[in-house]
Structure 1
């Protein structure tokens, strides 16, 4: 399996565990106010990251080089910044909403980089 696939699956697993912990915390506490952060973390952190990992595993010719690693770094940082900002905003820190916007644009940049990988020449 290409290195980038391993990175994505390891990252996806860690973000999934954090998302599950958030869900358990909400269930136990009865406070579900952070559900949008929980959902974003699970969908962007777990599902999308795993799909990226699968894509690179199925297309090893596109998994090498700098662009996939840059895409991984940009996307992962964006998801973390967005999820943290959203969680803090939902917990009563409206000033953290700026992080949600910044993280969203970083995620967009990561998706644009992935699009470049998909449409690039290669396998």
Structure 2
């Protein structure tokens, strides 16, 4: 079930994000703070909430649309913060990565809106 996968992936991403935050604090180098924040929010919190919704509303989580939404969000949740990190460390010539990642995340969110509205009518 996609909800369980999303919840498991979210806690791994959140642990990685928290560890990255600790490393930044130890080094007193907060250059990657925006990437860290997006990783925790999009990859940790949102992914867990989506997975929880799918676990609580199994009819919503057992659809092809939910699987597409889940995989899109999991991909975007890694691509977007990684792209932000690359831009922060390598420069703006790499802006395509966070742009692509953010568009994937927005597309996944739009699909989730459709899923929630469909399942709330059922």
Q: TM-score, normalised by structure 1?
A: 0.91
Q: Which residue of 1 aligns with 2:27?
A: 29
1:117 aligns with 2:115: yes
Could you give the per-residue CA deviations for residues 15-54 of structure 1, whole angstroms, max 9, x where no partner exists? 1011012102211211101000000000111110111011
From 58, 63, 66, the counterpart of 1:65: 63
Q: What are structure 1's unaligned runs of at least 5 residues?
A: none
From 53, 68, 79, the counterpart of 1:55: 53
Higher helix share: 2
- Please state how far the C-alpha of 1:65 moved relative to its aligned partner: 2.2
- Please state how far the C-alpha of 1:98 moved relative to its aligned partner: 1.4
SS in 2 for 1:91: helix
Q: TM-score, normalised by structure 2?
A: 0.92
Bigger mean CA deviation after superposition, 35-44 or 23-32: 23-32
Give me the whole-angstrom Cα distance separating, in 2, the residues matched to 1:18 and 1:96.
Answer: 23
Q: What RMSD in Å do the two structures reach over aligned CA positions?
A: 1.3
Could you give the per-residue CA deviations for residues 56-84 of structure 1, whole angstroms, max 9, x where no partner exists? 11111111121111000111111211111
Instruction: Name the count of aligned residue pairs.
Output: 121
Runs of 4+ in 1 over 6 A off after TM superposition: none
